[in-house]
Structure 1
Amino acid sequence: MISTYPKVSGKFLIDGKWLEAENKKEVINPANTQEVVGEVALCTKEHVDKAITSAVTAFESWSQSDIHERAEKMKVAAGAIEKIVEENVNLLVRENGKILVEAKKDLLRCVDIMREASDELLTWWQPESLDGKQKVQIRRRPRGVTAVISPWNSPMILTFKRVIPAILTGNTVIVKPATSCPLTIMIFLEKVASYFPNGVLNVVTGSGSVIGDALCKDSSVRTVAFVGSTETGKEIMKASASNVKNIFMELGGNDAAIILEDAKLDDELITKLRFGILRAAGQVCSAVKRVYVHESRYEELVEKLRKKFQYIRIGSGIQPDVEMGPLNNQSQYEYVKGLISRAKDGGAEVLTGGIKIDPEGWNDGYFIEPTIITGVNQNSEIVQAEQFGPVIPILSFKTNEEALKLANDSHFGLRASVWTENEKKAIAFADQLEAGAVFINNHTVFQDLHLDFPGLKESGISRETRHCSLEFFADTYGFAN
């Protein structure tokens, strides 16, 4: 019943007011598509225009606020957010498909982002004097209205990593959450917004083509931060070109894991590789999506990974013993199923595993078993595509030079990993791999929230950050005599 929906269901936020939309769309549980979790408002261009006006007006005063005031407000908001984490874990699981432990970790990391970025602001914002005959200072100032267009795969942390530094650096923000799972992020943003002046944080939901196009084409919006597919990223670049916005984009990935001849294929390493492939059911931009293994270790790796996949417990993330949930939406589900089917039709061997926690309810959700694909080549669709699901093609190589060439043979360049007992060899690979970051004997994320590294090629437009992404949302200028 509608009375059980979250209070933000079907609403959007402009100038401190939560408004009801005339048109709405259901938000469903990907683990049980018969369950409606809530509704998402389908905002119009007129709603976007009002949100931009609100943000422009609020920027006049918020941009002049003291950095200590901004940091203190954010820390108080972080405390309030921390208190509602536990009660919203289940909602995130139900609308997104994550398992409980992943969902809770994401929500707690949002609190960490708020606190760490607030502390970082107080030192990073200070003017920096340069040595030399001329007096030169590097100073910073807020840029203006910021649009944050966030994805469905990790809606919480990927939104907070952009919204929070944007607000702290004195900007006003308009957030466009993903339509398939907007509810938890809206509850959290509602709480954050209540600690700041009206108009500093606005939320509009609905069609990406309507909302995104309006935000990108309006000259009052000075920055667009987008996380999502490379195809959509290209459209955002086109729409933003007429007014030359600052654009920061984390796009697709087709990460390669290279298993060298001397790799120690023990249980610890295989477990790390499994996690790098299947975290969030493979719906992670920086998940392993291709494995290249030395020909002498090929059969050993395939067999060990197959056995590890066999014991993955798959089902609704609400169940505490589940290790992998469903795909988030029907479109992605059908895409991944199609990739697997076409690979099989083309002669590939398809190895599936996993334990179905609820076999009777399996077809009610967007579930796909962990899948290993062998018998394919570099040009196969399943190898060249970003699968974004629990499927992994495994190919062999003869020489290290061949492995490097195969790994770099992609339009993407987000992350990569080298698995070897020789760190010098891994560094030699890393120096030549076309990826924004390279891991050794792991394929993971940077634990330090101050750090991030951009993807190369078609995996994004950004730059290295050591300061919680604060530098993405402020203008740096020189002051000299």
Structure 2
Amino acid sequence: MISTYPYVSGKYLIDGEWIQAQQTTNVINPALTSEVVGEVALCTKADVDHAVEAAERAFHSWSKSDISERASKMKVAAIEIRAIVEENVPLLVRENGKVLVEAKKDLLRCVDIMNEASDELLEWWQPEVIPGNQKVQIRRRPKGVTAVISPWNSPMILTFKRVIPAILAGNAVIVKPATSCPLSIMTFLKTVASHFPKGVLNIVTGSGGLIGEALCTDSRIRTIAFVGSTETGKEIMRAASSNVKNIYMELGGNDAAIILEDANLDDELITRLRFGILRAAGQVCSAVKRIYVHEDKYDELVQKLKKAFQYIRVGNGIQPDVEMGPLNNKAQYDFVKGLIERAEKGGATVIAGGIQIDPEGWEDGYFIAPTIITGAEQSSEIVQTEQFGPVIPILTFKNNEEAIRLANDSIFGLRASVWSENEEVAIEFADQLEAGAVFINNHTVFQDLHLDFPGLKESGISRETRHCSLEFFADSYGFAN
């Protein structure tokens, strides 16, 4: 039994009050679609207006608070959050589809974010003196009311990485969680909100179109932080253009992994590559979504990756031995299934693997087996589209120049990886890739929470940060005397 869960099901948070919604919709378990995990409130435009009013009132006093007070409150909240991690792991698994190990890691990372951002605030917020003939300082101040629109694939980490620095920077925040899995993030934010003045943290849920439009067009909101698809990001930009706002976006990706001719395709490489593809069932913006391998290594790679995929245990993530869960929602399930079917009809070869933990219940969840696609063309949909599922097309190249050209042939530029025994060659190769970050002999995330590198092209709007994203939520201004 999850002790905090009943307080958020079917409710929303405004000005310190959890309000029962008149209209709700069910949150279902993607591994067992007949199971209702809870309810999510369907807020109205009037509810959004109420939330903005509350946040605006709270901002006037919270923005003037001492940074030591902010950091102290967040540290205490982190202690309470850590205490409820274990009991809430099953809730995240049931509403999101992650496996137990991934879910627990996500929740623990939220605690890390709270502590590290608090420590970073105390140092980064201090005035910075610019050397020169005139005494000039760079000083910080909060931007204003901030809207955080969260995704369904990694709702915990990707929400906390924005909400926590926004609050620490002195802003009042309105969070709009994804409708398909809002319960975990609301349960944890309930604890966070209890440590801050009323109105500093508000939560509205419901239709992405209705709530998103209301948030983006409201002139009182000064910053929008969004994580999600590029197409939705474009809609947010259009809606927000009616008044000038700060927009911080992490959007889609179609990450390329380039296997050079000298790469050693040993068990360690295959394991890292497999994890880079199938983490969270491929529902990660920075997952490997295309592989380019030197033609001399092609057969070996396909056979070894095929073998690795065959032993992936797929099923309900609540079972401890499951390695990969379902896709989160029916729309994404249908999209990925359609991509595979169209690729096969177009002449590509589909190689499905995995072990079904519960074959009889397979059709009761949004399960897709780990799948390799061979024989696809560079221009094909399966290569050019962000699949966001456990599907990987593998293509060949003859030389490094061709590999660079193919890897850069995408509207996206989030992450990439180069796999080689020669670090100097890999670095030279990485310098030519159009990606916000490049990994060598791995395809993962930055372990240091201080770091966050932006995507290029249509993968995002932001800039490099080494300060737990604090600078996205604070204005820097010059002071001279």
Q: Who is 1:71 aligned against?
A: 71
Verify: 1:151 aligned to 2:159, yes or no.
no
Provide the aligned C-alpha RMSD in A.
1.1
Partner Cα separation in structure 2 for residue 376 and residue 344 of structure 1: 9
Q: How does 1:55-454 map to 2 (within 5 A)?
A: 55-454=55-454
Q: Which runs of 4+ in 1 moved over 6 A?
A: none
Letter in 2 for 1:145: V
Question: What number of residue pairs does the alignment pair up?
Answer: 480
Partner Cα separation in structure 2 for residue 213 and residue 88 of structure 1: 31
Letter in 2 for 1:275: F
Letter in 2 for 1:408: N
Partner Cα separation in structure 2 for residue 163 and residue 7 of structure 1: 20
Partner Cα separation in structure 2 for residue 417 and residue 472 of structure 1: 27
Partner Cα separation in structure 1 for residue 335 and residue 209 of structure 2: 20
CA offset digits 1:308-354 (Å, max 9, x no partner)? 00000000000000000000000000000000000011111100100
Partner Cα separation in structure 1 for residue 341 and residue 187 of structure 2: 39
CA offset digits 1:255-311 (Å, max 9, x no partner)? 000000000100000000000000000000000000000000000000000000000
8 Å CA contact retained: 1:5, 1:37: no
Secondary structure of residue in 1 paired with 2:6: coil
Q: CA deviation at 1:7?
A: 2.4
Partner Cα separation in structure 2 for residue 292 and residue 218 of structure 1: 45
Letter in 2 for 1:443: H
Partner Cα separation in structure 2 for residue 28 and residue 395 of structure 1: 37
Partner Cα separation in structure 1 for residue 392 and residue 133 of structure 2: 58
Partner Cα separation in structure 2 for residue 189 and residue 21 of structure 1: 18
Partner Cα separation in structure 2 for residue 179 and residue 26 of structure 1: 9
Partner Cα separation in structure 2 for residue 392 and residue 119 of structure 1: 40
Partner Cα separation in structure 1 for residue 458 and residue 420 of structure 2: 28
Secondary structure of residue in 2 paired with 1:185: helix
Partner Cα separation in structure 1 for residue 364 and residue 5 of structure 2: 21
Q: Give the 3 Å change call, closer, same or farther, for CA 167–394 of structure 1 in structure 2.
A: same
CA offset digits 1:208-240 (Å, max 9, x no partner)? 111111111011000000000000000000111
Partner Cα separation in structure 1 for residue 440 and residue 320 of structure 2: 31
Letter in 1 for 2:388: F
CA offset digits 1:160-214 (Å, max 9, x no partner)? 0000000000000000000000000000000000000000000000001111111
Q: CA deviation at 1:4?
A: 11
Q: CA deviation at 1:6?
A: 3.0
Secondary structure of residue in 2 paired with 1:57: helix
Partner Cα separation in structure 2 for residue 394 and residue 230 of structure 1: 24
CA offset digits 1:27-48 (Å, max 9, x no partner)? 0000000000000000000000
Q: CA deviation at 1:430?
A: 1.1
Q: CA deviation at 1:5?
A: 6.4
Letter in 1 for 2:188: F
Partner Cα separation in structure 2 for residue 263 and residue 25 of structure 1: 50
Secondary structure of residue in 2 paired with 1:466: coil
Secondary structure of residue in 1 paired with 2:12: strand
